[in-house]
Amino acid sequence: MKKVGIALLGLGVVGSGTYRILQAKKEKIERDYGVSIEVKKVLEKDLSKAEALGIDLNKVSCDINNVLNDDSISVVAEFFGGTEPARTFLVQCLERGKSVVTSNKELFSKHWPDLENAARKTGAGIYFEASCGGGVPIIRALHDSMQGNDVLEIKGIVNGTTNYILSNMTDNGSDYDATLKEAQRLGYAEANPSADVDGYDSTYKLSILSSLSFNKRVPYTSIYREGISKVTKEDIKFGKEFGMTVKLLAISKNVNGKIEAHVYPAFIPNDHPLAKVGGAFNGIYVVGDNVGELMFYGKGAGDLPTGSAIVSDIVTAATKESHRRYPFILEEAAQDFNDDFISEYFIRLSAKDESGVLSTITGIFGKAGISIDAMVQKAGSNGRATIAFVTQKTTELTFRKALEELQSASCISEVSSVIRVEK
Ligand code: HSE
């Protein structure tokens, strides 16, 4: 039987989950895939983590040279997170001909070209199934099952933390700050939640998914990004009246050869498959020109779900004779982005409760050629009313102009929210 030595860089939540799966599935992997995988080295400063897993402490150190200089190791799985020292270590491993496996979407979206360049020197492999969607096998599906298609669109809920927060706000009518605090208390959100709630994590993942789908380098810096902190329970309540649910979406589309890549909170109709993706789950909706609609769903984080994707990559890296190359990632980044994209909008505003307000709103939008799809008005206190409405499709620039006019109309006290609608 083929024997493959591996190293684990870090024994955090996912590193430990990976080790446990490798132990539990050792015989199955040997029987079904014809390879015996042995953990030869572990990089971890907290020895108690290794002890808790029953790992021989002679294998554990903090020195990457112990991994680099061990010729029996041909696959290295990285669990550090962040860009350094992960980038340096993985480049060194690839330059020594060791294939690398990572769930590190920040590293991957920022430094994929560095990894590809290093891998080309030796023919080593780069595996990143766990970087997007945790345990959901979306990378392999895009790689191996879409050859007969052009991908037209990806719409994903790829961040479990924000989906947990928005789902709870929707189910319980609670506001953002209280829900975030509760999510932090329960361990769903980090003490510093910015990477998740401000949309960075989703942007990294969308950069990877879009590059793979369109075979073009789509840098995360070219992706428009908005987080969820401005979504209010009032918006969610009005959205329900229009039959819509709010989600943080990572969207990329190939519109007549131009790429549109955005991360923003958006309302989707309650009957869209993504509307049913609740709690900390992930869902990725893909449209191919021949296959039509596809929906991937599952746990986007956690020790065993993410470990499941990592083990799948380790076994693949260990059994392949030659590894996939990514020529497009070394080319210049795609320049053909569409900055005047078409969208529908939800607007919530506060206005004087008097005659002529609705005609002012419809007049401004009518003049701009933007049709209004649905409108709800609620009388409030102090002679004010709250009005919420949804537009039909319009370009971003046309919408922004109409919005400016709306904000300066004397009968409008405040435009409280603008949230895109994805149908
Ligand atoms: N912070 C990420 C999430 C973890 O909330 O989905 C998985 O990448």
Whether residue 127 contacts residue 317, with contact meaning beta carbons closer than 8 Å, is answered with yes
pLDDT of residue 72: 98
Dist. CA 283 → ligand 1 center (Å): 13
pLDDT digits (tens, 9 = 90+) for 99-116: 999 999 999 999 999 999
Percent of the chain with pLDDT over 70: 100
51 vs 46: CA distance, rounded Å: 9
Indicate if 60 and 174 belong to the same structural domain: no
Q: How far apart are CA 104 and CA 12, in angstroms?
A: 13
235 Cβ below 6 A of ligand 1: no
Asked if the structure places residue 353 within a domain, the reply is yes
pLDDT at residue 334 above 80? Answer: no
Q: Which CATH number belongs to the domain containing residue 386 in this structure?
A: 3.30.70.260
In the structure encoding, which two tokens stand for residue 77, read together? Answer: 């799985």
What pLDDT does 336 receive? 72
Same domain, residue pair 65 and 213: no
Residues 283 and 297: their CA atoms lie apart, in Å, by 4
Residue 125 maps to a domain: yes
Per the prediction, the chain carries an average pLDDT of: 96
Other residues' Cβ atoms within 10 Å of the Cβ of residue 324:
12
Residue 62 to residue 19: CA distance in whole angstroms: 18
Residue where the block lists tokens 């109709």 = 269
- Measure the CA–CA gap between 191 and 421, rounded to whole angstroms: 30
Mean pLDDT of 343-362: 94
Q: Give the mean pLDDT of 145-151.
A: 97
Quote the tokens at residue 20.
């446990």
Nearest to 74 by CA among 143, 123, 135: 123
Give residue 166's identity as a one-letter amino acid code.
Answer: L
**Site of tokens 């039509």:** 292
Q: Is the pLDDT of residue 35 over 90?
A: yes
Q: What's 282's domain CATH number?
A: 3.30.360.10
**341 pLDDT band (50/70/90 cuts)?**
confident
Q: Is 205 a catalytic residue?
A: yes
Question: Is any ligand 1 atom within 6 A of the Cβ of residue 193?
Answer: no
Rounded to 5°, angle at Cα 176 from 171 and 181: 100
Task: Quote the pLDDT of residue 423.
Answer: 87
Ligand 1 atom at shortest distance from the alpha carbon of 306 = 7
148 and 265 share one domain: yes
Q: What is the mean predicted confidence (pLDDT) over 131-157?
A: 97
Residues 153 and 231 in one domain: yes
Q: What is the pLDDT of residue 25?
A: 98
Please enumerate, as own/partner, the contacts of 169-177 that have beta carbons within 8 Å and a separation of 24 or more. 169/231, 169/233, 169/236, 170/236, 170/240, 170/245, 170/246, 171/278, 173/233, 173/236, 173/237, 174/233, 175/232, 175/233, 176/228, 176/229, 176/231, 176/232, 176/233
Which range marks the domain in which residue 196 is found?
138-298
Number of structural domains in the chain: 3
pLDDT for the residue 120? 98
Query: What confidence category does residue 29 fall into, taking pLDDT thresholds of 50, 70 and 90?
Result: very high
- Residue 344: CB within 6 Å of ligand 1? no
Answer yes or no: is 284 within a domain.
Answer: yes
What is the spatial distance between Cα 348 and Cα 416, in angstroms, rounded to a whole number? Answer: 6
Among 6-20, 181-195, 221-235, 372-386, the minimum mean pLDDT is found in: 372-386
pTM of the model: 0.96
CATH no. for residue 122? Answer: 3.40.50.720
